[in-house]
Amino acid sequence: MADQTPTQKIIEIDEQITVGTLAELLSLPVSKLVGELFKLGVMATINEKIDFDTAQIVVGELGLEVELARKEQTPLMRKKREASDADEPRPPVVAMMGHVDHGKTTLLDAIRGAETVKGESGGITQHLSAYQIKHNNRYITFLDTPGHEAFTALREHGAQLTDLALLVVAADDGVKPQTIEAIRFAKQAGVKIIVVASKMDRPDADINKLKQQLVEQKLTPEDYGGDTIVLPVAATKNQGVKELLDMILLVTDVEELKGVHSGPAEGLVVESHMEKGKGRVAVALVEKGALRAGDFVRVGSTYGKIRTLQNTSGEVLEKAGPSMPVVITGLRELPDFGDEFEVLPNEKEAKDKAATTATERRSGPATGATTSSELLRIISQKGQLSELNVIVKADVQGSLTSVVDSLKSLGTEEVAVRIVSSGVGVITESDVHNATTTGAIIYGFQVELPSAVKQLAARDKVAIRMFNVIYELIDDVKKELETLLTPEIIEEELGRLLVKAVFKTTQKEVIAGGEVTKGKLSLPAFARAYRDKELLTDNLEVTNLKSGPTDVKEVEKGNLCGISLKTAEKLNLKEGDRLELFSRRTETRKL
């Protein structure tokens, strides 16, 4: 076997096998196998059957030097490649982009005939998801990119994966900052843009106003003399959807998209997460070649053997070609969003290449040159930077990457977010212990909080904050950072006093009299003392004002008054000097 290590043993089993029989074949105690299945969320006794895929998963989790193969199909047969399907037409990859709540997910629902928007928090897409639909006997792949600016990294990757961008803009709301951002990403990626004027069934929809706004963004519609296609759509009524799909296929024909359908597969990860009963799951988009179950893959800095290969509807696939989104299991670790994958001849090559990638990533930042200005900035910040310690747990790797990247971008020269730890999955007791040690706040994004962990956090006085919408999480972190900012001191000029006489001078107090020549003196106040143009001191506190023998709170311009000043050191004030009074207040600063 070319793709087997010398120590691996091949065991052929049927599509289904009892737990007891599998334990016997693996030379394991049944209790150990049952326990490992339980960890994966599979409740099975000695006489119950599990399917081939589950058997593969549990063998992988046990770390056994065993290769399972279906009796009707050997690993060698699965590795067979066709050489006749290279450079054939491939489906287009279409990214759904635009402003939050402009109807991207609703439009995709109309295309797919499902109501995924009801499952999204606040109706906002939280993950980049990939789907493939069939129209006129041809396939179209859609990437549904999140709409909020916090998912900038995801959306940017989305444009880079894309042949065609559908820019969804609500006709009743028009072009927004996120719309402009999406346009920039799509243009940078060099992809064709089709503008979808959504929500055309709204009474205040104005497609002409929208087209004018598009002209300002250098996307001139066809009926304005440009080359940008603008299609009106009312997704909730299924109006304009067929025309949109027809246009996507027309553009595809013009672009003559082709792909290599044979040879080792390559592509990108668009999502990853842990799933009960399956372990590590990744959603990937094949860019070239043919991907099959049983292939050894290097994905970013991890690797594995593909145990299961399905489309995004859950159907088992024999192989997947260019532009096809697939769901795979069998990786040793969760990959990051945007990680490239490639099929390699055997496990050793996949493992070695993953290790090389991991080493490059660890050493990457250290090899980058630090400019002199950057070094000065770092030095000046040392000892002044206040850090907010946080622990982040998210449901999938794509969300985790976006949350962490967004939090890191919140930093200023004074405050920054320090990610103590981060990971995919439920919040654990280990996270609470870590937070206790570091003083961190735990942020959970679309994950569960077990009651035992909640009780432990309450006992140890650890803050755990749970969110289902990413921008609400980020807003909460912003508020915490703002409490660490040094308050801004705001001064407001009040008035001027020309000193006519000095009645008392001590080490810490001066009492004088004079005329208000500008503005109005009032309490509370501070003062600066000047002699001609020379500043004598700016550290005076006004403790009292008198009009004759009476204490007063304010004195208007043109009036005479007495003034008492508290000084930090002795001040030799003289007739003819002037006092400039001002108020001082502090305000909480915003990020």
pLDDT digits (tens, 9 = 90+) for 407-434: 887 877 778 888 999 998 899 999 999 9
Q: What is the residue-averaged pLDDT of the chain?
A: 82
pLDDT tens string 45-89 = 776 778 787 888 888 888 888 888 876 543 333 333 333 444 788
Which CATH code for domain 9-76? 1.10.10
Q: How far is CA 81 from CA 9, 296, 324, in A?
A: 24, 14, 17
pLDDT tens string 551-588 = 999 999 999 999 999 998 889 999 999 999 999 887 77
Assess contact for 90 and 437: CB atoms under 8 A. Answer: no
> Per-residue confidence at 377, pLDDT binned at 50, 70, 90?
very low
Residue by residue, DSSP assigns 90-145 as ---EEEEEESTTSSHHHHHHHHHT--GGGGSGGG---S-EEEEEEETTEEEEEEE-
**End-to-end Cα, the chain, rounded Å:** 60
- Read off the pTM: 0.57
pLDDT tens string 468-506 = 888 889 889 999 998 887 777 788 899 999 999 999 999
Q: By CB neighbour count within 10 A (0-12 exposed, 13-18 middle, 19+ buried), where does 267 fall?
A: buried
- Which residues of the chain form CATH 3.40.50.300? 88-259
Q: Give the count of beta carbons closer than 10 Å to the beta carbon of residue 386.
A: 14
Q: Which CATH class is domain 488-587?
A: mainly beta
More confident residue, 159 or 18: 18
d(Cα 481, Cα 590) in Å, to the nearest integer? 9
pLDDT exceeding 70 applies to what percent of the chain?
Answer: 85
> CATH number of 266-362: 2.40.30.10, 2.130.10.10, 1.10.40.60, 2.40.50.140?
2.40.30.10
More confident residue, 5 or 189: 189
Closest CA to 510 of 541, 533, 535: 541
pLDDT for residue 83: 34
- Which residues of the chain form CATH 3.40.50.10050? 382-482
Which CATH code for domain 88-259? 3.40.50.300
Closest CA to 232 of 197, 195, 194: 197
Assess contact for 66 and 59: CB atoms under 8 A. Answer: yes
More confident residue, 126 or 370: 126
pLDDT for residue 221: 92
Alpha helices by DSSP H, 446-495: 451-460, 470-482
Lowest-pLDDT choice from 112-126, 260-274, 514-528: 112-126
pLDDT for residue 77: 33
Phi-psi region of 442 (alpha: psi -120 to 50; beta: other; left: phi over 0): beta
pLDDT tens string 430-465 = 999 999 988 999 999 999 999 999 999 999 999 999
Which CATH code for domain 382-482? 3.40.50.10050
Sign of the CA dihedral 467, 473, 479, 480?
Answer: positive
